[in-house]
Amino acid sequence: MSSSDTASITRMPFDDLQRLLQAIFQRHGCSPEVASVLAHNCASAQRDGAHSHGVFRMPGYVSTLASGWVDGQAQPQVSEVAAGFISVDARGGFAQPALAAARERLEDKARAAGIAVLAIHNSHHFAALWPDVEPFAEAGLIALSVVNSMTCVVPHGAHKPLFGTNPIAFAAPCHGAAPIVFDMATSAMAHGDVQIAARAGEQLPPGTGVDAAGQPTCDPRAVLDGGALLPFGGHKGSALSMMVELLAAGLTGGHFSWEFDWSRHPGAKTPWTGQLLIVIDPSKASGEGFALRSQRLVEQMHAAGLTRLPGQRRFQERAIAQRQGVALTQAELTQLRAL
Ligand SMILES: NC(=O)C1=CN([C@@H]2O[C@H](COP(=O)(O)OP(=O)(O)OC[C@H]3O[C@@H](n4cnc5c(N)ncnc54)[C@H](OP(=O)(O)O)[C@@H]3O)[C@@H](O)[C@H]2O)C=CC1
Ligand SMILES: O=C(O)C1=NCCCC1
């Protein structure tokens, strides 16, 4: 948010925001079930100050639904393909309702076998990934998820974009504290943050992207208009992005980031790809207990001088929102009401 945005902040109770978003999703063609899942996801991102995937995304959801690119009424088909492996065909709908349809069975399998995998394909993911993993850690489990997006990242050492911004999210329980959660794009910056920088007229840090001629640029417009992003951390981030393509698309049967063509659906913004979740029950491991060991690690990190854990900023923003309401700018509120 720019300083002029922060000057116009208004606050809304979480439930009111969720209801407003649910009404928007339903008005634009989602079933009540799908609308409820997406509204909770998007309101949670806004509550936690995850601005690149909060209400900023609503015009994109709406234009995508209008374009016919995604099915807002899809009913996911869940198949238990092996003792520890569930496959979900999202049937061209959103990934979150597909996860919701399989969540209970995934958790049961993880508790029974110690580990379980959920492979979602034929799905659209347009959101932050942490809401998909955090609830497992709150239930005492460890969860890892990956999702691939649309071609906009040049692999390290290559000369044209191929990968998506391909985030990885991880959540683990920690004794006496909030779960340990990280969620990060494998690109130097999430595509949403490049759009936000362009809108705010801000420059990007060096090393974020290239222009249409493949030359380094700090201009977000040049990255968005024919240019591309770079992986974070050179060959290391590039390898992680490749891993996400392999797990989220190669393994699930979803589209790789370059495999779908939305050109005949003007307004389409949601990548039609796949998502993988791995859930582990740490109570099956030997020793003093995983959550206690997490706590010891965190204590040592603090003793080493660390002042901010991944996820900590979000939890702090959430605590403020729970007391005062979810922060929205006047412009965001006006846009939501128009939608
Ligand atoms: N659906 C999709 O296809 C895609 C979705 N995304 C989403 O975009 C969102 C933003 O991604 P990205 O911009 O890479 O995330 P950030 O770089 O903002 O943050 C990545 C992680 O690092 C933590 N973190 C950030 N700064 C610090 C710090 N100084 N010290 C310790 N921890 C820190 C964050 O915690 P905290 O949250 O507490 O700040 C977060 O867990 C994610 O939710 C991701 O899932 C991205 C790409 C594609
Ligand atoms: O911010 C990103 O990067 C993306 N978010 C939603 C899906 C497309 C990529």
The question of ipTM being above 0.85 is answered as yes
- Nearby residues of 302 by Cβ (< 8 Å), 6 or more positions away: none
Mean pLDDT of 90-118: 98
53 pLDDT above the threshold of 80: yes
Which of ligand 1's atoms lies nearest the C-alpha of 129?
45
171-215: per-residue pLDDT in tens?
A: 999 999 999 999 999 999 999 999 999 999 999 999 999 999 999
Q: What ligand is nearest to the CA atom of residue 41?
A: 1
At residue 5, the pLDDT reads: 63
**Would you name the residues annotated as active-site residues?**
52-53, 193
Separation CA 263–CA 278 (nearest Å): 33
Name the H helices within the chain. Answer: 3-7, 14-27, 32-47, 58-67, 95-113, 130-138, 191-200, 220-224, 235-244, 290-303, 312-324, 330-338
Burial per residue of 56-69, b for 16 or more beta-carbon CB atoms within 10 angstroms, e otherwise = bbbebbbbbbebeb
Pick the CATH number of 1-67+311-339 from 3.30.70.270, 3.90.420.10, 1.10.1530.10, 2.60.40.10: 1.10.1530.10
Predicted structure pTM score: 0.97
- Please indicate whether residue 195, judged by its CB atom, sits closer than 6 Å to ligand 2: no
- Please indicate whether residue 192, judged by its CB atom, sits closer than 6 Å to ligand 2: yes
Q: What percent of the chain has pLDDT over 70?
A: 98
CB distance 153 to 241 below 8 Å = yes
At residue 117, the pLDDT reads: 98
**Tokens for 108?**
């049961």
At residue 2, the pLDDT reads: 53
At residue 107, the pLDDT reads: 98
300-333: per-residue pLDDT in tens?
A: 999 999 999 999 999 999 999 999 999 999 999 9
Residue 114 — very low, low, confident or very high, per pLDDT cuts 50/70/90?
very high
Residue ID of nearest Cα to ligand 1 atom 30: 308
At residue 1, the pLDDT reads: 56
296-309: per-residue pLDDT in tens?
A: 999 999 999 999 99
149-174: per-residue pLDDT in tens?
A: 999 999 999 999 999 999 999 999 99
286 pLDDT above the threshold of 90: no
- Please indicate whether residue 151, judged by its CB atom, sits closer than 6 Å to ligand 2: no
Name the residue of 124, 163, 165 whose CB sits within 8 Å of the most ligand 2 atoms, as the mutation to test its pocket.
165
- Please indicate whether residue 124, judged by its CB atom, sits closer than 6 Å to ligand 1: no
7 pLDDT above the threshold of 90: no
Separation CA 13–CA 253 (nearest Å): 40
- Please indicate whether residue 147, judged by its CB atom, sits closer than 6 Å to ligand 1: yes
Separation CA 26–CA 21 (nearest Å): 9
Mean pLDDT of 226-252: 98
At residue 4, the pLDDT reads: 54
Burial per residue of 284-304, b for 16 or more beta-carbon CB atoms within 10 angstroms, e otherwise = eeeeeebbebbbeebeeeeee
CB distance 208 to 230 below 8 Å = yes
pLDDT averaged over every residue in the chain: 97
Q: What is the 3-state secondary structure (H, E, C) of 125-193?
A: CCCCCHHHHHHHHHCCCEEEEEECCCCCECCCCCCCCCECCCCEEEEECCCCCCCEEEEECCECCCHHH
Mean pLDDT of 122-129: 98
3 pLDDT above the threshold of 80: no
- Nearby residues of 214 by Cβ (< 8 Å), 6 or more positions away: 154, 159, 160
At residue 96, the pLDDT reads: 98
Token pair 């806004």 is at which residue?
A: 46
Residue 72 sits at φ, ψ, to 5 deg, of -75, -5
6 pLDDT above the threshold of 90: no
Name the residue of 183, 256, 316 whose CB sits within 8 Å of the most ligand 1 atoms, as the mutation to test its pocket.
183
Q: What percent of the chain has pLDDT over 90?
A: 97
Q: How many C-beta atoms lie closer than 10 Å to residue 330's C-beta?
A: 12
At residue 288, the pLDDT reads: 77
Separation CA 137–CA 41 (nearest Å): 17
20-35: per-residue pLDDT in tens?
A: 999 999 999 999 999 9
Residue 287 — very low, low, confident or very high, per pLDDT cuts 50/70/90?
confident
Separation CA 270–CA 148 (nearest Å): 11
Residue ID of nearest Cα to ligand 1 atom 27: 310
- Please indicate whether residue 184, judged by its CB atom, sits closer than 6 Å to ligand 1: yes
